[in-house]
């Protein structure tokens, strides 16, 4: 999962940079309607959907691994101290990422809605721009934190797998 998430996060960051670039240069277009991949609206919509997908994958990953770890601890009678055990660590991992993933997806959606409001001349560009920049920075920050937590979670799963293999060998 760590490598998959890293790829998603890198591509998502590239999409953010390209979307912001198109937003900044959108008013400078001189040739009428641009192609879809040069249109800020189209690329921003794809970026918003991709960000929601990436953040949803993080939440689903921790829900799934949390359940799997809990079942492994119970099924193989692995040591599980209530304060520092595997289930407790899994809950901490999920707590560290769920808020970031949820907020990241919500911020990008608010940015998209404000962009639509700007396109229909309901609000000025400043509101959309501020939210878009904040959304991009927040999501890139959350990708860094989520990657670290996924890395810790993967190490813990490998540790559990070693314990299970040792129990099966005896």
pLDDT per residue as tens digits for the range 92-102: 999 999 999 99
Domain range summary for the chain, segments of one domain joined by +: 2-169
Residue that wins the pLDDT comparison between 54 and 38: 54
Average pLDDT over residues 71-78: 90
Q: What is the mean pLDDT of the chain?
A: 91
Alpha-carbon gap, residue 86 to 76, rounded angstroms = 13
* E strand intervals along the chain: none
Angle at the Cα of 93 from the Cα atoms of 87 and 97, rounded to 5 degrees:
145
The reported pTM is 0.89
Does 63 score more than 90 pLDDT?
A: yes
- Percent of the chain past pLDDT 70, that is, above it, reads 94
Structure tokens at 118: 């700007």
Residues 6+ apart with CB under 8 A from 112: 44, 45, 48
Q: pLDDT grade, residue 37 (50/70/90)?
A: low
Does 36 score more than 60 pLDDT?
A: no
């Amino acid at each position: 999962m760590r490598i998959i998430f890293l790829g998603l996060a890198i591509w998502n960051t590239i999409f953010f940079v390209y979307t912001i670039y198109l937003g900044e240069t959108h008013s400078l277009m001189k040739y009428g309607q641009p192609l879809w991949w040069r249109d800020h609206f189209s690329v921003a919509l794809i970026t918003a959907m991709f960000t929601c997908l990436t953040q949803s994958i993080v939440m689903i990953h921790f829900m799934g691994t949390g359940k799997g770890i809990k079942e492994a601890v119970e099924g193989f009678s692995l040591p599980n101290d209530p304060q520092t055990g595997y289930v407790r660590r899994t809950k901490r991992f999920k707590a560290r990422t769920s808020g970031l993933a949820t907020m990241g997806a919500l911020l990008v959606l608010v940015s998209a809605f404000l962009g639509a409001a700007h396109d229909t001349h309901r609000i000025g560009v400043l509101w959309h721009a501020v939210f878009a920049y904040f959304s991009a920075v927040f999501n890139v920050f959350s990708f860094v934190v989520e990657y670290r937590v996924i890395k810790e979670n993967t190490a813990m799963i490998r540790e559990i797998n070693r314990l299970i293999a040792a129990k099966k060998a005896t």
